[in-house]
Structure 1
């Protein structure tokens, strides 16, 4: 999730655990702990692909976070022996904030290495990486908890409960769309072995569907508000890797994306894109791997580079109309 949401979640989790002892200082500490796992973005792994696929790695591991939290808690209690918070409660708060951070990240489509150093990316895909309906209740609780004569702990407990309910709603909505997708694939005689259902930006009502086949993929949009339950799928070529050499970063990108990759040539550049993140022709993670020389032969770049994508809010109004069930404009979003 985005940094604001993670800080807000950390603050409210800390406030919920503090209860009647919830103070602005507790909220601040919770917010700081909530952003701590994402500090891995400052690390440079050598190239654009590695920086992408190794994010949410060791700093998000459920095998490392608890012992790290215990170390932080021990240091805090060691240097603050006069604090009324004892080690057991400090460690419970610290572990809770760090673990909820990584579990929330695992709800998005990006993927989280929950068991690092064991290989594997985990994602539920029931919430978009930025979703105001999830974040706003957390922010309201933080503001309320800062006010005098307010039981901030109660507000934080309510916000954590509501945000968790929203995650549950997202999962149920995803399953609803998933059943509809399954029915449509059967009716339209399309493959159903490699299918993923993901929320579109900022909501859990309109969902994007990807269906992977051997040499092409199918893409569709489905809203919970659609009157017509038919999903119009658009077919696009997957392309293929044209070189004999396959760099290690390509293998890593395949694992990260679960092989939902598209290969295409653009202006003499070989571009590899993660199909899961973004919208159709406006994908978020695209990488330049090779360029053609004067003889038209592919030459690998020394290191893959991030290829610019048109990331913006230009499709928001169209997205909103499609969310409300207007299926006639689906083509404008794909």
Structure 2
């Protein structure tokens, strides 16, 4: 999830545990802890692809974060001993905030290495990486705590933090239930339309859990579709899109890493003498978030693989949000390409 959401989640968890002892400092520490795992973005792994696929790595590992929680809690307790903030309570806050960060990340489409150093990317794809309906309650609850002026008011305000956590968790459950409903509908459509079903993704479109994007992979093409909970008809219109292929005999290590990260939901195309590899999962069909230049043609027209793949400057069409909203409401005349 985005940094604002993670900070809000961390602050809300800290406020819920602190109860009447909650104050601005507690919320600030919770927010800082909530964003701590994302500090790995400052690391440079050498190229654009490696920086992408190695994000959410060791700092998001469920195998390492418990030890980090112990060290941070022990250090804080030694520096600031307190009758209320015992080691166990500090550890509870630290562990709860740190461990929920990667668990929430794993519910998005961007893969999280929950078991680092063991290989594997985990993603449940039941919530978009930014979703206001999830985030807003987590922002409101700490604000209510900050506005409280007495101990009793702060104690009551802490209940808002607890309530916000329950509400946000229920929203995640809702997202998963909606995803499963759409998945069943997708499976029925694939059988009815005789489309392949070995490699299928169902994931939310930006900022909501009502309209879902569907990708169905084939050998030389893939199929793109949109399905809304407000659709009047069960039929899903799938648009075939050329997938392309890697034109060279040898594959660089970075491409193998990108394949593992994306579970091979990749497409290939040539544009302006550049070989562009796109991760089909993140973004929308004609507004993909992660595209990389892997090779360029030389003067003789031969491909030259770049030693360090570069990020392709994908364009963003903000006007597509209007069409996205129409499709969300059930307007099936809107193409999966949102044009």
Which range, TM-score by smaller chain?
Answer: over 0.9
1:110-149 alignment runs, 5 A limit: 110-148=110-148, 149=153
Return the alpha-carbon distance in structure 1 between the equivalents of residues 338 and 61 of structure 2: 35
Equivalent pair of 1:77/1:83 in contact (CA under 8 Å): no
Is the deviation greater in 324-333 or in 197-206? Answer: 324-333
Q: Does residue 1:165 correspond to 2:170, yes or no? A: yes
Q: Secondary structure at the match of 1:137?
A: helix
CA-based RMSD: 1.1
Alpha-carbon distance, 1:83 to partner: 5.6
Q: Which residue of 1 aligns with 2:95?
A: 95
1:213-252 alignment runs, 5 A limit: 213-252=218-257
Return the alpha-carbon distance in structure 2 between the equivalents of residues 281 and 331 of structure 1: 9
1:70-103, CA deviations, whole angstroms, 9 ceiling, x for partnerless residues? 0000000111124631101101110000011110
Q: Does residue 1:278 correspond to 2:283, yes or no? A: yes
Equivalent pair of 1:206/1:221 in contact (CA under 8 Å): yes
Is the deviation greater in 52-61 or in 324-333? Answer: 324-333
331 and 57 in structure 1: CA distance in 2 versus 1, 3 angstrom threshold: closer
Q: Does residue 1:154 correspond to 2:159, yes or no? A: yes
Q: Which residue of 1 aligns with 2:11?
A: 11
Q: Which residue of 2 aligns with 1:267?
A: 272
Equivalent pair of 2:10/2:31 in contact (CA under 8 Å): yes
Return the alpha-carbon distance in structure 2 between the equivalents of residues 46 and 83 of structure 1: 48
Return the alpha-carbon distance in structure 2 between the equivalents of residues 202 and 277 of structure 1: 13
Return the alpha-carbon distance in structure 2 between the equivalents of residues 205 and 141 of structure 1: 25
Structure 2: gaps (5+ residues): none
Q: Does residue 1:327 correspond to 2:337, yes or no? A: no
Is the deviation greater in 146-155 or in 60-69? Answer: 146-155
Return the alpha-carbon distance in structure 2 between the equivalents of residues 208 and 230 of structure 1: 14
Alpha-carbon distance, 1:107 to partner: 0.3
Equivalent pair of 1:11/1:29 in contact (CA under 8 Å): yes
Q: Secondary structure at the match of 1:190?
A: coil
Return the alpha-carbon distance in structure 2 between the equivalents of residues 69 and 56 of structure 1: 17
Q: Which residue of 1 aligns with 2:262?
A: 257
1:61-72 alignment runs, 5 A limit: 61-72=61-72
18 and 223 in structure 1: CA distance in 2 versus 1, 3 angstrom threshold: same
Tell me the number of residue pairs that the alignment of Structure 1 and Structure 2 aligns.
Answer: 334
TM-score by length of 2: 0.97
Return the alpha-carbon distance in structure 1 between the equivalents of residues 127 and 9 of structure 2: 15
Structure 1: gaps (5+ residues): none
Return the alpha-carbon distance in structure 2 between the equivalents of residues 232 and 184 of structure 1: 9
1:15-66, CA deviations, whole angstroms, 9 ceiling, x for partnerless residues? 1111222211111110000000000000000000000000000000000001
Return the alpha-carbon distance in structure 2 between the equivalents of residues 328 and 310 of structure 1: 24
1:245-287, CA deviations, whole angstroms, 9 ceiling, x for partnerless residues? 2111101000000000001100100000000001112110000
Return the alpha-carbon distance in structure 1 between the equivalents of residues 81 and 141 of structure 2: 30
Q: Secondary structure at the match of 2:31?
A: helix
Q: Which residue of 1 aligns with 2:21?
A: 21
Return the alpha-carbon distance in structure 2 between the equivalents of residues 83 and 195 of structure 1: 54
80 and 312 in structure 1: CA distance in 2 versus 1, 3 angstrom threshold: farther
255 and 144 in structure 1: CA distance in 2 versus 1, 3 angstrom threshold: same
